[in-house]
């Protein structure tokens, strides 16, 4: 790590207890009569207790929002921070899920194309917390769109769980509308609780949404300081859809430059935190769910620990100026 404030050089500020707050503009539509997929968990260890107002404070006493859960338009709650499992092999994936849960995290993201749904299922079953406290996301890949009902059943079988909290179409492809309709049927049958899309942008959404009945609960896209989607994010949020960012730290093979960025390093030093924590807090304050990938237990815990400080408007503007419209993956 070339920056003087490496990933391991951070102040452990202490996570606040889980508080179910909806991101601005993304509250459930029409309320919810359905049960929450994830609720407050006062038994989490290593977390500072929330105040009566459900907020923690900076060192100077300034209140800081504890955005720990968002209510999807399906009526279910989803943690706002979690773990991406892309490229994790079986044993590493299981261990990373255990580390996430031990640190208080409850959101796990996988996909058919990650080839580790079975490992995610094992991690869920052996992590030591009840299934209903966890939120599991998986995705259908375009080569599954021709037989989507079978693909959904296959995901359930591989994961070895009774229901999937959130299922996404991995990216646009031939047959995506019919695959989405299959996910709608799966939601009606209780196999899936919420459905959404991954790698859909404004043009794709304008074409896709009129063809389906259910508004996606979430859209998951590449988002980091060098690729901020400053037009796409508010467009999606204005539709009542939650935005989730993959590659929040720049992505494997690309994060060295981002984590050494002098502007981000300066902001991190001002708060006594790490650059990854600044980036994840920046996402949080934009109302974006984040799923950084890691197999390092210390990094996994650090990535959750972003609620003891707040970025100022001036700092948010400085980060906004870093946008290069620079995608680090092809879709």
The torsion of the CA quartet 250, 107, 23, 34, rounded to 10 degrees, works out to 150
Q: What does the radius of gyration of the chain's CA atoms come to, in whole angstroms?
A: 19
Asked if 278 contacts 69 with a C-beta cutoff of 8 angstroms, the reply is no
d(CA 313, CA 234): 17
CA atoms lying within 13 Å on the CB side of residue 33: 0
CA distances from 112 to 19, 121, 221 (A): 31, 13, 17
Nearest Cα residue to 238 out of 276, 206, 212: 206
Asked if 315 contacts 267 with a C-beta cutoff of 8 angstroms, the reply is yes
254 assigned to active site:
no
Catalytic hit among 112, 114, 163, 254: 114
Residue 189, token pair as written in the block: 């049958």
d(CA 316, CA 318): 5
Those residues whose C-beta lies under 8 Å from the C-beta of residue 115, and which sit 6 or more positions away, are: none
The H or E element that residue 253 is part of is: none
| Active centre residues (catalytic) | 114
């Amino acid at each position: 790590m070339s920056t003087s404030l490496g990933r391991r050089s951070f102040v452990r500020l202490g996570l606040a207890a889980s508080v179910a707050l909806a991101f601005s503009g993304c509250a459930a539509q029409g309320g919810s009569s359905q049960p929450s997929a994830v609720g407050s968990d006062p038994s989490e260890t290593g977390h500072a207790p929330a105040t009566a107002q459900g907020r923690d404070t900076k060192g100077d006493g300034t209140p800081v929002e504890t955005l720990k859960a968002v209510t999807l338009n399906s009526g279910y709650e989803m943690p706002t921070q979690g773990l991406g499992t892309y490229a994790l092999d079986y044993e590493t994936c299981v261990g990373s899920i255990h580390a996430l849960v031990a640190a208080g995290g409850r959101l796990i993201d996988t996909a058919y194309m990650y080839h580790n749904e079975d490992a995610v299922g094992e991690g869920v079953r052996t992590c030591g917390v009840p299934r209903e406290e966890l939120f599991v996301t998986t995705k259908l890949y375009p080569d599954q769109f021709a037989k989507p009902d079978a693909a959904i059943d296959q995901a359930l079988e591989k994961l070895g769980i009774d229901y999937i909290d959130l299922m996404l179409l991995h990216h646009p492809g031939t047959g995506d509308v019919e695959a989405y309709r299959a996910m709608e049927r799966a939601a009606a049958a209780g196999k899936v609780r919420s459905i959404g899309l991954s790698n859909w942008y404004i043009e794709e959404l304008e074409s896709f949404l009129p063809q389906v009945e259910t508004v996606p609960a979430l859209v998951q896209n590449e988002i980091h300081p060098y690729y901020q989607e400053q037009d796409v994010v508010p467009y999606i949020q204005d539709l009542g859809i939650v935005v989730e960012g993959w590659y929040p730290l720049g992505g494997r093979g690309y994060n060295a430059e981002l984590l050494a960025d002098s502007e981000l390093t300066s902001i991190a030093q001002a708060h006594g935190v790490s650059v990854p924590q600044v980036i994840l807090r920046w996402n949080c304050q934009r109302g974006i769910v984040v799923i950084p990938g890691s197999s390092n237990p210390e990094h996994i815990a650090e990535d959750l620990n972003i609620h003891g400080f707040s970025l100022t408007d001036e700092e948010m503007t400085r980060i906004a100026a870093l946008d290069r419209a620079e995608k680090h993956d092809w879709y």
